[in-house]
Amino acid sequence: MEDLLRPIYQERASLPNTLGVLIMEKKKPISPVTDNFDVILLIIVRGADDPWYVKHYEFENKTAAMHIVDEELLKEWVETSGYRRAVEWVINGKVIFDRNEYMEELKAKLDDFPQETRDLKKAIEFAKLIRSYSESKDLYESGQYLDAFSRMVHSLHYLARLAIIEKGFHPEVTVWNQVRRIDAEVYKLYEELIQSGEPTDKRVQLMLLAVEHSVSIRAKNSAKHLLELMQEKKGAWTFGELKVHPEIQLYALDLSAMIEYLTEKELLEVELHDTKGPEIYHRKYKVKN
């Protein structure tokens, strides 16, 4: 198949801004990793006008998708798991063109999964988990059991990805197949929610307790990125200062829920500052000693 696609990727490889080309072939009849295409061509470039260009092909009753991705966008996907398929392509794909060992170094970096990147990813998934879990709990308490169940499924997905990152791996598209090998306890929670014969409301009720415990024991480690950043400054932070901090932008949308949870768990403490209004105070936050 590589030979058939050679005319397509060779043209791109000859361009000076092309850093690497890899190929990922479908291994199963149904393949979420390749979007069910028979083959994926990933071409990484520098300084592209269009950061993500996609083109589809058909040949000899087979299909192919070519993704031309700017290196900065790919870096964002790697750091945030924003497009997990692309991360899998880099990890598991076959390199067919490599300029100045760019692809070799990128693969090595992904295998290494440095602690700084891991802490950021944990914070992103933890923030999403807190918001999703809180929404599920609120829906359950208001009697919206099917919606609470739906949000709980999402919550368990965030918990699964968090568990995978904790073990030093990048979350894959088929996350439950991955977590079954890596964290049996989290996988068991998912099985209990999906396969239990209990009524929906009872399943959600039991899962709220289980997830709350799992989240609580992970809180300090999962929020390490935020807590260490806050300790870099003397004194307390306003929420507004935190929300616009460049290192927090990747989970800024879920920051409010995360701050409230960490305050509730006494990992953060609140300082009250006077405002112009009587008996109205401005809240600031700092890491509790």
Q: Are residues 40 and 129 in the same domain?
A: no
Q: Are residues 281 and 150 in the same domain?
A: yes
Q: Are residues 125 and 268 in the same domain?
A: yes
**The last residue of a domain, from among 61, 80, 112:** 112
Q: Are residues 205 and 79 in the same domain?
A: no
Q: Are residues 210 and 84 in the same domain?
A: no
Domain count for the chain: 2
Q: What is the pLDDT of residue 1?
A: 66
Query: Among 71, 55, 90, 66, which Cα is nearest to 18's?
Result: 71
**The last residue of a domain, from among 48, 79, 112:** 112
Question: How many residues in total does the chain contain?
Answer: 289
List per-residue pLDDT tens for the chain, 289 residues long.
677 788 888 888 889 999 999 999 998 888 888 989 999 999 999 999 999 999 999 988 899 999 999 999 998 888 777 788 888 899 899 999 999 999 999 998 888 888 898 999 999 999 999 999 999 999 999 999 999 999 999 999 999 999 999 998 888 877 898 999 999 999 999 999 999 999 999 999 999 999 999 999 999 999 999 999 999 999 999 999 999 999 999 999 999 999 999 999 999 999 998 888 888 899 999 999 8
Q: Are residues 103 and 167 in the same domain?
A: no
Contact between residue 64 and residue 41 where contact means Cβ atoms under 8 Å apart: yes
Burial of 240 (0-12, 13-18, 19+ CB in 10 A): exposed
Q: Are residues 101 and 132 in the same domain?
A: no
Q: Are residues 282 and 163 in the same domain?
A: yes
Q: Tokens standing for 244? A: 């616009």
Question: pLDDT digits over 98-143, tens only?
Answer: 999 999 999 988 888 888 989 999 999 999 999 999 999 999 999 9
Q: Report the CATH number at residue 29.
A: 3.30.460.10
Q: Are residues 62 and 196 in the same domain?
A: no
Q: Report the CATH number at residue 240.
A: 1.20.120.330
**The last residue of a domain, from among 77, 112, 147:** 112
Q: Are residues 128 and 262 in the same domain?
A: yes
Residue-number span of the structural domain to which 51 is assigned: 2-112
Q: Are residues 78 and 120 in the same domain?
A: no
Q: Are residues 164 and 62 in the same domain?
A: no
Alpha carbons 235 and 227: distance in angstroms, whole number = 13
